[in-house]
Amino acid sequence: MKVSQREAAHRAASDQEMIAWVDHHDQPLGSMPRAQLRERGLIGRGTYILLFNSAGELCVHRRTLSKAIYPGYWDVAAGGMVQADESYELSAARELEEELGVSGVQLTAHERFFFDQPGNRLWCAVFSAIWDGPLNLQPEEVCEARFIGVEKALLEAAEKPYCPDSLAALKRYLESVANVP
């Protein structure tokens, strides 16, 4: 599979988006282009939306090869970088609609955590939503998507390349809902 011209153009535009830049305590420091933030090893903000259907299955999708990080990987969450003028909540709603074509759903906020890997340093906000309608995939970012059981997704993640940041979000979500009385 090769990167289409459409994907390459989308990636170039994405790299220039102004992203919220924060410190180790998630306090705003300003904004800068996404590519520059990544290249300099600075911290941004990201959203992770775990999309379930009413049967409790999780939407997993495969990222296009044009993605700057984790190209071609499977992902357990829709989401992305929070733009300079956005809250986590606005970013989550925008990303869910852009990537999977899902809008008008109630987003439930869960926790925030710091994820730190070379090239991917983020304060992460985790959300969940339930959707039984059709998915409308953004071709520049998503190759395919399907709903599967959470356990199956975790088993697949041991055998296939899955995004480590969204897996961290899923695992933290699962721990938090397991601790709810």
What are the sequence ranges of the domains in the chain? 5-178
Task: Give the pLDDT score at 125.
Answer: 98
Task: Give the pLDDT score at 177.
Answer: 84
Q: Show the low-confidence residues of the chain (pLDDT under 70).
A: 1-3, 6-15, 180-181
Task: Give the pLDDT score at 7.
Answer: 64
Task: Give the pLDDT score at 66.
Answer: 87
**Which residues share a beta bridge with 74?**
62, 162
Four-residue CA torsion sign, 166, 170, 175, 180: positive
- Phi, psi for residue 138 in degrees, rounded to 5: -80, 110
CATH code of domain 5-178: 3.90.79.10
Q: Residue with structure tokens 């994907």?
A: 7
Rounded CA-CA distance 31/37 in Å is: 9
17-47 per-position pLDDT tens digit: 899 999 999 999 999 998 899 999 999 999 9
CB atoms inside a 10 Å sphere around CB 82: 27
57's tokens: 């299955």
127 neighbors 45 (Cβ within 8 angstroms): no
Task: Give the pLDDT score at 142.
Answer: 96
159's tokens: 């055998």
